[in-house]
Amino acid sequence: MSETVATQVQTFTYDEPHPHAFTRGEVGWLPWLEPLPVDELTDRHYDGLVDRARASSDYFRLLARDPEILRARTLVDKDIFYNTAQGLPRAERELAAAAASRVNGCVFCASVHARFAAHFSKSPEFVDALLADGVKADLGERWDAITDAAAALTATPIAFGPAHVTRLRATGLDELEIADVIHGAAFFNWANRLMLSLGRPVAPPDQA
């Protein structure tokens, strides 16, 4: 019976334009599968969403179909990126996220985290170089060490090794900051795979 029901379900299709390339513009995202309707959200789903405002997002209401993993994902995400009392500055956590997204090819994730990296670093020109030229772009030694480490961690098989740690340390990162690079890049190997596989990016309104 479940098979009968399942074969009736179809993925959504859209006519909206794709982004042209990586960009700091406001890339949109459309789900290929049906998010939970807002009027079907229960306390268990809101618990998974963590922030009630996320109920307005198709992406989070689609993920709310499995609330327990969404909740843990959301809390680990927030701690890795927003808990900046100690450790790596926010700009460089966002840089690691943008670099991982650039390597995997997630135009949506790269746009969001490139905007954050540009905002917090006040160096939009370097962020744009990463988007345009990829992780081989020359961003200065400290940022190159971070993007190189993020890329190595994003490769399959995983290519991160002692030389990456040594290089990060040589540019002034301590162990906690290196662990923050590891977590930030690794987390985007989770986020990119969700965003890329459950829906598609849409060109920013001013670039369509």
Q: Which of 68, 170, 172, 208 binds another protein (CB under 8 A)?
A: 68
| Strand residues in 23-124 grouped as ranges (E) | 28-31
Rg (CA), the chain: 18
CA 153/CA 183 separation, integer angstroms: 10
Residues in region 15-34 near another protein by CB under 8 A = 18-22, 32-34
Smallest separation, CB 88 to another protein (Å):
11
45 binds another protein (CB under 8 A): no
Q: 106: Cβ–Cβ under 8 A, 6 or more apart, which residues?
A: 188, 191, 192, 195, 196
In the chain the first and final C-alpha atoms are separated, in Å, by 43
Is 158 a binder of another protein (CB under 8 A)? yes
Which of 47, 51, 75, 208 is in the footprint of another protein by CB under 8 A? 75
Residue 133 to residue 39: CA distance in whole angstroms: 44
Report the residue number, 140 or 163, with the smaller CB distance to another protein: 163
Does residue 129 bind another protein (CB under 8 A)? Answer: no
What is the residue-wise DSSP string for 14-38? Answer: --PPPPSS--SS--EEEESSPPPPG
Of 72-80, 90-98, 116-124, 135-143: span binding another protein (CB under 8 A)? 72-80
Q: List the x/- string, 166-205, binding to another protein by CB under 8 A.
A: x--------xx-xx--xx-xxx-xxxxxx-xxx-x-----
Task: By CB under 8 A, tell whether 60 contacts another protein.
Answer: no
Binding to another protein (CB under 8 A) within 78-117 occurs at: 78-80, 83, 86-87, 103-107
Please confirm whether the linkage preceding 17 is cis (ω < 30° from 0): no
Instruction: Please state, in angstroms and rounded to a whole number, the distance separating the CA atoms of residues 135 and 156.
Output: 16
- Cβ 122 to another protein, closest distance in Å? 26
Q: Does 53 bind another protein (CB under 8 A)?
A: no
